[in-house]
Amino acid sequence: MTEATVIDGKAFAAALRERIGVAAAGFAAQTGRRPGLAVVLVGEDPASQVYVGAKGKACEAAGMASFEHRLPADTSEAALLSLVERLNNDPEVDGILVQLPLPSGLNEQAIIAAINPDKDVDGFHVINAGRLAVGQRGFVPCTPLGCLMLLKDHLGDLSGLEAVVIGRSNIVGKPMAQLLTDANATVTIAHSRTKNLPDVVRRADIVVAAVGRPEMVRGDWIKPGATVIDVGINRLPPEEGKEKGRLVGDVAYGEACAVAGAITPVPGGVGPMTIAVLLRNTLVAAHHNAGMPAPEGL
């Protein structure tokens, strides 16, 4: 039996980050300033701290300015809104990202709604969701855009392919389905109420799993030769004698490898794309804010 091709998101993301670095240097040479991303972290959530640190480092590595704002967990909504307003008006800041989840008591929707949509590089603002829905230019959430890039790189034209997206969250499933529809795939969105999920998935030439359940999608759900994009990041309980459990996706990787045509691994598949696309969106925002056309080929 042939094994699936492994779609190397890490390598793709590294190449993308390199192109972004070149374009960021060009931007700085033309404008006299680096593209800038402000990242706001409220509270001490350990995973969020890791993500925010990684985003800051990635910015600096790509020749962009990173402005980190770490606020205590008891920050009031008024104080957070006032920081967002300050960043909206700061000409050095092209992109604003408020790391989610926010501590309870802070209204995430209200905070995201306060971000200038043209600086909303996460693509979570309702204006950007609307722009995506009606096919206008706007910011698209980083993870699904990264998945689309990997799919197009591997498959080329997606026209007429059957795609099944498992998960309908606002940050992954829904925008993913929209992007695949815009790329002329025939799209089904599955979720926790979907009946006969294995049969639905068996129809798919493209499977995108964004569920948050370790190894839920089994090998015998996959149509032979299908392309599988595994968005899930799940940590298993630690094995005996180990401090940390293994990271696995939403797809049973070994089983799926024996059937699929191609598959993203976890880690090293979709994960690295998310930060690379965040940098890409920030670079695009910088060009728009400077009244310059966005660079091609990103």
Write out the binding residues for ligand NDP, residues 197-256 only, by CB under 6 A.
197, 210-213, 231-234
Which position among 128, 178, 227, 274 is part of the footprint of ligand NDP (CB under 6 A)? 274
Residue 70 or 191: which CB sits closer to ligand NDP?
191
122 is catalytic: yes
Which position among 149, 166, 183, 229 is part of the footprint of ligand NDP (CB under 6 A)? 166
**Residue 177 burial (CB count, 10 A):** 22
Candidates 94, 99, 120, 205; catalytic one: 99
Which position among 131, 168, 203, 288 is part of the footprint of ligand NDP (CB under 6 A)? 168
Write out the binding residues for ligand NDP, residues 107-146 only, by CB under 6 A.
143
55 is catalytic: yes
DSSP character string of 113-166: HHS-GGG-TT--SHHHHHHHHHT-S----HHHHHHHHHHHHHHS--TT-EEEEE
Among the candidate windows 18-26, 82-90, 175-183, 186-194, which touches ligand NDP by CB under 6 A?
A: 186-194
Q: What is the largest CA-CA distance in the chain?
A: 60
Q: x/- site string to ligand NDP, residues 78 to 97, per CB under 6 A?
A: --------------------
- Compute the Cα dihedral for 35, 141, 42, 105 and give only its sign: positive
Q: Give the SS3 label for residue 187.
A: strand
Q: How many Å apart are CA 219 and CA 200, to the nearest integer?
A: 14
Q: Give the SS3 label for residue 61.
A: helix
Residues forming contacts to ligand NDP in the complex (CB under 6 A) are 143, 166-169, 171-173, 190-194, 197, 210-213, 231-234, 270-271, 274
Catalytic site residues?
Answer: 55, 99, 122
